Structure 1
Amino acid sequence: MNFSVIVVVVVVTALAFDFTNGFHDTANAMATSIATGALPPRVAVLISGVLNVVGAFLSVEVAKTISSGLVDETRITPVVIFAGLVGAILWNLVTWLIGIPSSSSHALFGGLIGATWVAAGTGAIHFGALISKVVLPAVISPIVAGVIALVATYLAYRITAKADDGTTRRGFRVGQIVSASMVSLAHGTSDAQKTMGVITLTLITAGALPAASGPPIWVILTCGLAIGLGTYFGGWRIIRTLGKRVSDIQTPQGFAAETSSAAVILTSSHMGFALSTTHVCTGSIFGAGAGRRLASVQWGVAGQMALAWVVTLPAAAVVGGAAALAVSDGGTFGTVVVAVVGVGVAAGIFVSSRRRPINADNVNDVPGRVEPVPAGA
């Protein structure tokens, strides 16, 4: 397998990850709008997909963080990046299958760090940047977004307390169309950049770009299209979790959650923080749920999500490290084996998902869900 073919394989694999990122994270932007009926499911994912593409062109600061900030690009090869991407893709698919909104971003970071660790040692990992640009924002961002959404929800209900219920619902539904669109735009700005950064890192390690380069225009375009296409396919399993299993979301809550998420994500993207849109949007949804009535929040679901968040980075790192070990020891043969195994596992996950299909027609149905009884009823 010659040098140029390896680079092409890595670029294609990165775009495949970008596609899984799109359908895995569609829920971040559109789950609450679909749950409240502000947007029909198929229209929601179409709008989200288009705005993801547009958002990809708004900034490249996060891409630069990944291409030259997390690992030493002079000590790894495109094959190592390929191994990291395999870890990220498989973790995305596993969490999508079980409907848990884990972070695609942290899956990517984990896979890349695990592969780099195995191939080049800990010295090739910039732990300072990892802590300041990834770990701390991961801890802080859902709390900040949740508090903002909680306050916004409380104010929304207080301000509209004496207004006609029908008028209030219609007004907030229109507002949700705008706020959900802003989250989609923010998601494209934040998450498409992560794949841009990986492809740019690949081109740097291959000698096709000088160190510290930003992503070329063709990288920006292809990453935007890949994440937009993935978004259009709709991650219905995770949309159901965020839209229906977290809380009985009403239109004021949906508007507050989406507005809070968009503000936090766009701010962090401008500053170059590789923030997890999943963490931000999930924090906002829980905050919005608590802002109306604490009893309406399914805290057991929150515990499942928190566990997935903690496990995501190390789990993807283990898979990425194992893949790096295989490609390092096996050369071309090892790379082919990793690719074949990765495709096989992905196919198995897809086949398994067809046993209990969730789609645009049944995404708002939650079998066995018992809705909370209002106080005093």
Structure 2
Amino acid sequence: MDLTILFVIIGLAILFDFLNGFHDAANSIATVVTTKVLTPVQAVLWAAFFNFIAFFIAKFIIGEFGVADTIAKIIKEDVVTSFGANPSLVIIAALSAAITWNILTWKLGIPSSSSHTLIGGLAGGALAATGFDFSSINGSIILTIIAFIFVAPFIGLFAGNIINIITINLCRNIKPHKADTWFKRLQLVSSALLSIGHGLNDSQKVMGVITFALLANQTAIINTDMDNWFLNDVFHWKDWFITTDSTDIHDWVPIVCFTAIAIGTLGGGMKILKTMGNKITKITPIEGFTAQTASAITLFFTEHIKMPVSTTHVITGSIIGVGMTKRVSAVRWGVTISLLWAWILTIPVSALIATGFYFLLNLIF
């Protein structure tokens, strides 16, 4: 039964990653489509390619998957187990809640955070499993993540504002038409960097979930004997699933996660694209370039400190920062405040949904 649940978790995790790419595709392509540098189809293909390139950067250049390690430590498995609860059911409840919230916000065209739906789901599932014992979750990690709901957009806002001011001053003697031509080309670079940042941060979150699930099921994996010579003698299936800690991540885990998010990105997300592209503020090619560059820098920084943040929050902050260089009124604050409420509600609502899913699963199993 435990291994069946494990494979259900892996399947749900891949589905979540697919929806993450589908839901968040607009983040990295909104400005490049709005400024007509690429068509929506071209932009989605571009973003999907660089989402997957992020795997090779994390694996061979950075040399670690720090965000995945952080996510894997959100739930304290030993505390959950001490209550007689099955950590695997907690993960299923968390993923089910995250998938539900993602689909709902996509249908409504709200660019909420896929990352925070997952984090809220993990916390809600663990609390439900332990009778709402807060020692079952790593409070310091979750509080830091919550703080970055506000910190990350402000980093993006500040970076977008400063980079846009510098860029405008450097180009003040260039004819507008010529500048637009240059920056339409440069947007291809900034969009690629943003897609890499998205892949580095978001794909690793599901890697952390899968790694936690593997750790929680080590006894079942070790004690299970497959009555199949190919799986045992040729495939050596246990070698693919036995792991020692949250930093011991098998290569198949990131490959599956990065592939799923890249394929999901190919699905697009035009409703959210419209919100991110023009509803916050009007975007020119120069502003599109600076917003994407600021977002990419922010995502690279947060990946460096192993902090899971929302790509949605970062790019929104960057777009606002760019808009504010023209004038404060250039930003449609009504739309921005609505987005902020969606961000604030994501973690508690996801936690509540995960609680409901856990109680339901507990009745079934």
Q: TM-score range by the shorter chain?
A: 0.7 to 0.9
Match of 1:182 in 2: 193
Shift of 1:329: 2.8
Residues of 2 paired with 1:212 and 1:245: CA distance? Answer: 40
Residues of 2 paired with 1:150 and 1:189: CA distance? Answer: 24
> Residue type of the partner of 2:296?
A
Q: Map 1:184-203; keep pairs closer than 5 Å.
A: 184-203=195-214
Q: Map 1:143-158; keep pairs closer than 5 Å.
A: 143-158=154-169
Task: State the SS of the aligned residue for 1:56.
Answer: helix
Q: Deviations over 1:107-166 (max 9, x none)?
A: 00001110010012322101012112x112222110111011012222222322221111
Residues of 2 paired with 1:151 and 1:266: CA distance? Answer: 17
Q: Deviations over 1:169-219 (max 9, x none)?
A: 011111110001000011101000001100111111111422334321001
Does residue 65 of structure 1 match 2:76? no
Residues of 2 paired with 1:181 and 1:330: CA distance? Answer: 45
Match of 1:162 in 2: 173
RMSD: 1.2
Residues of 2 paired with 1:18 and 1:185: CA distance? Answer: 15
Contact between 2:243 and 2:249, CA under 8 Å: does it hold in 1?
no
> Residue type of the partner of 1:72?
K
Contact between 1:56 and 1:193, CA under 8 Å: does it hold in 2?
no
Contact between 1:28 and 1:277, CA under 8 Å: does it hold in 2?
yes
Task: State the SS of the aligned residue for 2:301.
Answer: helix
Residues of 2 paired with 1:296 and 1:199: CA distance? Answer: 43
Residues of 1 paired with 2:101 and 2:200: CA distance? Answer: 22
**Please, which runs of 5 or more residues in structure 1 have no aligned partner?**
332-377
Contact between 1:56 and 1:189, CA under 8 Å: does it hold in 2?
yes
Q: Map 1:1-377; keep pairs closer than 5 Å.
A: 2-57=1-56, 58=58, 59-67=64-72, 69-74=73-78, 75=80, 76-120=86-130, 121-132=133-144, 134-207=145-218, 208-331=242-365
Task: State the SS of the aligned residue for 2:77.
Answer: coil
Equivalenced residues, count:
328
Change (3 A) 1:28 1:214: farther
TM-score normalised over the length of structure 2: 0.87
Contact between 1:60 and 1:214, CA under 8 Å: does it hold in 2?
no
Task: State the SS of the aligned residue for 2:215.
Answer: helix
> Residue type of the partner of 1:105?
S
Task: State the SS of the aligned residue for 2:74.
Answer: coil
TM-score normalised over the length of structure 1: 0.85
Shift of 1:326: 1.1
Residues of 2 paired with 1:153 and 1:34: CA distance? Answer: 19
Q: Deviations over 1:227-262 (max 9, x none)?
A: 000001111111110002111101111111000000
Task: State the SS of the aligned residue for 1:161.
Answer: coil
Match of 1:346 in 2: none
Residues of 1 paired with 2:248 and 2:25: CA distance? Answer: 26
Residues of 2 paired with 1:66 and 1:25: CA distance? Answer: 19
Shift of 1:32: 0.5
**Please, which runs of 5 or more residues in structure 2 have no aligned partner?**
59-63, 81-85, 219-241
> Residue type of the partner of 2:54?
G
> Residue type of the partner of 2:126?
T
Shift of 1:225: 0.6
Q: Deviations over 1:265-299 (max 9, x none)?
A: 01111211111111111100111111123332111
Task: State the SS of the aligned residue for 1:292.
Answer: coil
Contact between 1:153 and 1:292, CA under 8 Å: does it hold in 2?
no
Task: State the SS of the aligned residue for 1:101.
Answer: coil
Residues of 2 paired with 1:277 and 1:216: CA distance? Answer: 25
